[in-house]
Amino acid sequence: MSRPVRKTWLVAGAVSGFISVAAGAFGAHALRQKLAADLMEIFETAVRYQMYHVPALLAVGVVASRSPSRAADVAGAAFTAGTVLFSGSLYALALTGQRWLGAVTPFGGLSLLAGWIALIYLAVRRA
């Protein structure tokens, strides 16, 4: 595996962390008085779950850069896709009020779960 591919998950984790902090600040300062309470709660859930998966992506990046494996790449891809689908759909729902966007969220959740399964496999296989 080439060096740029191995550090993809570190970069994805760092970018996701940046976006999560920026979104959290945006929500706290610009949206708090503009969004209905239920939409603000949805927005905060998106920020929280995005930030929860930043350390996971960074961990995958460290593991993949030291010892590349298919399982690490599956975990990284699943965490990245899951964050985009889960948090992204919730951000869009909160900002637009379009409730149908909530139908996308479970696919993101499944991707996040797949990332954790791949990380469990990786940990057990390497232990």
pLDDT of residue 116: 98
pTM for the full model? 0.92
pLDDT of residue 58: 96
Boundaries of domain holding 64:
3-122
CA distances in angstroms from 29 to 26, 46, 51, listed in the order given: 5, 16, 18
CB 85 within 8 A of CB 104: yes
First and final C-alpha spacing in the chain = 22
pLDDT of residue 36: 95
Q: Can you list the residues of the chain whose pLDDT is less than 70? A: 1-6, 127
Per the domain annotation, does 71 fall within a domain? yes
pLDDT of residue 21: 98
Cβ-proximal residues to 60 (8 Å cutoff; 6+ apart), any chain = 9, 13, 72, 75, 76, 79, 115, 119
Per the domain annotation, does 12 fall within a domain? yes
Q: Quote the number of domains for the chain.
A: 1
Per the domain annotation, does 127 fall within a domain? no
Per the domain annotation, does 11 fall within a domain? yes
Per the domain annotation, does 78 fall within a domain? yes
Q: Which of 83, 67, 58, 81 is nearest to 8 (CA)?
A: 58
CB atoms within 10 A of CB 119: 21
pLDDT of residue 5: 59
Per the domain annotation, does 20 fall within a domain? yes
76: amino acid identity, one letter? G
Phi-psi region of 36 (alpha: psi -120 to 50; beta: other; left: phi over 0): beta
Per the domain annotation, does 97 fall within a domain? yes
What are 66-88's pLDDT values in tens digits?
888 999 999 999 999 999 999 99
pLDDT of residue 3: 55
